[in-house]
Amino acid sequence: MNPRCPALLVSAPASGQGKTTVVAALARLLRRRGARVRVFKCGPDFLDPFWHELASGHAVHSLDLWMTGEMDARARLHAAAQAADVILVEGVMGLHDGTPSSADLARALGLPVLAVIQAGAMAQTLGAIAHGLKHYKSESAGALPWAGVLANGVAGEGHAALLRQSLDEPAHWLGALPRSEAMHLPERHLGLIAAHELGHAPALARLDAAADALAATPLGAMTLADWRARWSVAFAAPATAPAAPALLAGRTVAVARDAAFAFVYPANLECLQALGARVVLFSPLAGDALPACDALWLPGGYPELHASALAARTDLRAQLQAHAQVGRPVWAECGGMMCLFDELLTRDGAVHPMWGLLPGRVRMQGRLMGLGMQSWAAADGVPALRGHSFHFSACETPLAPLACTTPAPGSARAQGEAVYAQGAVRASYFHAWFASSLPATATLFSNDSCPQRLPDGRKQL
């Protein structure tokens, strides 16, 4: 069965144009009208999905032709099309940025593209930008499915009229959003502030303000029948994937999950469960003890914003050290790794003692220190894990890296990320997409990756 469902991929000429606000506002508006909405995010992202989940009421999964793979993307969209009235996909960066890009994803999956263009400081040039977005590489790659243009940050009706007249096709005008602080989504150094950090009511108020503004546009005025007539997509059933081997059967994996460790792809938790693991969540910030477990995952997040509270968890520090000392695996990603060093230096100059499973310190920086898609051949003879990095800190450690990740083809980053090993601990700025290599993921959380004891009781790596 190839279910049909209206769908849009919302993109832009660049980051910062307002596409996250538009996707969340559109999901909120449709949901207020009783529609069932599923939202996806193109490329690696932990923060935008918090807003989309609040708006749609459902978990948000990533789609990426390189990191997650086309088969996974097709399977998720096929499933969503059977449960939703509308599917929305937020693109990453600019429409044609990256290899592969959001445009490549739109072509591969037949998703009509809605271009959100920040037009506050332009007039007829909007038409040139829209024309370029639609036709770039069309001769070599094929026509891009196109829905239209939504202008953002527009001064008024006169301004909107100039913008509309600049388009090649009047039918591609889907409206203009005004400048409005009420619907602005707040940001910090890694991107948007997560919706739950504002609180449910204040975050929802921003989404409602944006949804109200969108309701006054041609796009917002469309009915579900209009959506089906203009943007219906047939989502073919993907090839049946083999069942995941039960490589972690009988093992319990504890996962830190709170505001300091919030960067968790739902698909990664699903993957651990598919491998047979029992997943137990706990909150270091809430004072939870380390649960009884065979392995531990410390995901990324914002430990620098909660450094004092995490430093005060000397009880958890002792539990983590005891866990690692008996050879139970620890996988720590980015923010999770930051907590495992001896010290964390925040940008205000404060020094916070951390959990001491890795020697050295982490220092927050004033600029981006790592960005881009990466892969890691975590074990010999098995497919490499795929993932990405994005961080504003740097570590200073005497440890020599166990390995380094490899930048993906077309990545702007010239160097990979170090992977550190200390006894049963594996840690890196690398965020792994677990399903990209099930054997490698299983190795991270099994004793196969851990040191063996020498006859005198010492451990070897």
- Specify the pTM: 0.92
Percent of the chain with pLDDT over 70: 92
In tens, the pLDDT along 121-133 reads: 999 999 999 999 9
Q: Which residues contact 57 (CB under 8 A, 6 or more apart)?
A: 31, 37
Domain ranges of the chain: 4-234, 252-449
| Topology match between the domains 4-234 and 252-449 | yes
Quick one: three-class SS letters along 248-288? CCCCEEEEECCCCCCECCHHHHHHHHHCCCEEEEECCCCCC
Quick one: three-class SS letters along 382-403? CCCEEEEEEECEEEECCCCCCE
d(CA 29, CA 195): 17
- CA-closest candidate to residue 341, choices 328, 354, 326, 330: 354
What integer best gives the mean pLDDT of the chain? 91
Q: Which ranges of 97-199 would DSSP assign to H, the alpha helix? A: 102-109, 125-135, 138-141, 157-165, 195-198
Catalytic residue annotation: 334
Cα–Cα distances (Å) from 458 to 33, 341, 357, 397, in that order, read 64, 22, 16, 22
Give the pLDDT score at 451. Answer: 38
- CA-closest candidate to residue 392, choices 342, 338, 331, 433: 338
Cα–Cα distances (Å) from 4 to 70, 78, 86, 167, 219, in that order, read 19, 9, 10, 29, 20
Is residue 218 packed enough to be buried (19+ CB in 10 Å), middle (13-18) or exposed (0-12)? middle
CB contact at 8 A, 233 and 106: no
CB contact at 8 A, 289 and 325: no
Question: Torsion over CA of 74, 412, 305 and 14, rounded to 10 degrees?
Answer: -70
In tens, the pLDDT along 170-205 reads: 899 999 999 876 556 665 555 556 666 667 788 899
Q: Which ranges of 326-426 would DSSP assign to H, the alpha helix? A: 335-338
Lookup: tokens for 102: 């959001």
Please count the other Cβ atoms lying within 10 Å of the Cβ belonging to residue 268.
Answer: 21
Please count the other Cβ atoms lying within 10 Å of the Cβ belonging to residue 250.
Answer: 9
Q: What is the mean pLDDT of residues 379-393?
A: 90
- CA-closest candidate to residue 94, choices 129, 128, 125, 66: 129
The CATH homologous superfamily to which domain 252-449 belongs is Class I glutamine amidotransferase (GATase) domain (3.40.50.880)
pLDDT tier for residue 312 given thresholds of 50, 70 and 90: very high
Give the pLDDT score at 241. Answer: 77
- CATH of 4-234 among 3.90.950.20, 3.30.930.10, 2.60.40.10, 3.40.50.300: 3.40.50.300
Q: Which ranges of 216-352 would DSSP assign to H, the alpha helix? A: 218-221, 224-231, 266-274, 307-311, 314-325, 335-338
Lookup: tokens for 38: 């599923």
d(CA 2, CA 179): 41
In tens, the pLDDT along 224-272 reads: 999 999 999 999 988 887 888 999 999 999 999 999 999 999 999 999 9
In tens, the pLDDT along 321-355 reads: 999 999 999 999 999 999 999 999 999 999 999 99
Please count the other Cβ atoms lying within 10 Å of the Cβ belonging to residue 169.
Answer: 12
Q: Which residues contact 371 (CB under 8 A, 6 or more apart)?
A: 389, 390, 412, 413
Q: Is the pLDDT of residue 311 over 70?
A: yes
Give the pLDDT score at 381. Answer: 83
Partners of 106 in beta bridges? none
As a residue count, the chain comes to 461
Partners of 281 in beta bridges? 255
CB contact at 8 A, 85 and 65: no
CA 225 to chain centre: 31
Torsions phi, psi for 127 (to 5 deg): -65, -40
In tens, the pLDDT along 361-373 reads: 999 988 877 788 9
d(CA 179, CA 183): 9
- CA-closest candidate to residue 68, choices 387, 334, 283, 389: 387
Instruction: Compute and round to an integer the Cα radius of gyration of the chain.
Output: 23
In tens, the pLDDT along 45-95 reads: 888 999 999 999 999 999 999 999 999 999 999 999 999 999 999 999 999
Please count the other Cβ atoms lying within 10 Å of the Cβ belonging to residue 456.
Answer: 5
Q: Is the pLDDT of residue 380 over 50?
A: yes
